[in-house]
Amino acid sequence: MEQLLRKCRETAEEIYLKFDASHDLDHINRVMKNAIEIAATEPSANKFIINLGVLLHDIEDAKYKSDDTLSVREILEMHEADEKLIDEVIACIDSVSFSGGNEKSITSIEGAIIRDADRLDAIGAIGIARAFTFGGARGRKLYDANEEARTQMSEEEYRKKGTATVTHFYEKLLLLKDLMVTTEGKRLAKERHQFMVEFLEQLDREIGIENAEKD
């Protein structure tokens, strides 16, 4: 098991080096830390599946994927993981993506832990930093007072339109607290969510963005 995890990490590290700082290896390590913290409250969870799922969960992210990107399945097969494990890890990863609210159902406690761990890294102080890092890497505006946040959209619509970074808070980041699944994930999300609310209120005072969340 440790050998498989080590080999997968080596392969993943090479891939994540090509990503910007919002989805780099530091992000993976923070999500791993979150997952370990949540898993400690879920004794039935398979820690090995969680470790592999966290490590590989962004490999096929549509924002970075190219024609020559190895799939999660290809990486696991290359390192001789058995078919049952591969299917379990992929099922966990498939349930992680937000995709404009068009997320897939969670089928295991491991998937729930990985999803919550990843979403914790999308909110709070680090979530704010990551949002503006990604927006800057894609040349997006910091804010647009005339841009309305979308409440209903397909996955394609969500990914196609490069909204201003502040708009992204209202389309995704402020929604994540109420989408947490595990008890510990919900608890950890509250403080981070409140920090984002206070950040947006301060931003509103400084630049006059309307509709900042007040609660």
Give the per-residue pLDDT at 212. Answer: 41
In this structure, is residue 214 part of a structural domain?
A: no
Number of domains the chain is built from: 1
In this structure, is residue 34 part of a structural domain?
A: yes
In this structure, is residue 49 part of a structural domain?
A: yes
Quickly list DSSP for the chain: -HHHHHHHHHHHHHHHTTS-TTSSHHHHHHHHHHHHHHHTT-TTS-HHHHHHHHHHTTTT-TTT--TTPPPHHHHHHHTT--HHHHHHHHHHHHTT--GGG-PPPP-SHHHHHHHHHHHHTTSHHHHHHHHHHHHHHTT--S--TTPPPPSS--HHHHHHS---HHHHHHHTGGGGGGG--SHHHHHHHHHHHHHHHHHHHHHHHHH--S-----
Give the per-residue pLDDT at 214. Answer: 41
Among 8, 11, 15, 28, smallest CA distance to 81 is for 8
Structural domain for 32, as ranges? 2-207
Say what the pTM is: 0.89
Give the per-residue pLDDT at 102. Answer: 60
Give the per-residue pLDDT at 211. Answer: 47
In this structure, is residue 212 part of a structural domain?
A: no
In this structure, is residue 130 part of a structural domain?
A: yes
d(CA 147, CA 178): 24
Give the per-residue pLDDT at 213. Answer: 44
d(CA 105, CA 114): 13
Among 106, 108, 115, smallest CA distance to 184 is for 115
Give the per-residue pLDDT at 215. Answer: 42
In this structure, is residue 88 part of a structural domain?
A: yes
CATH number of the structural domain spanning residue 21? 1.10.3210.50
Give the per-residue pLDDT at 93. Answer: 95
On the CB side of 53, CA atoms within 13 Å amount to 33
Segment-wise mean pLDDT, segments of 10 residues, the chain, 215 residues = 94 94 96 98 97 96 85 96 96 84 82 97 98 95 90 71 90 95 98 97 83 43
Give the per-residue pLDDT at 162. Answer: 76
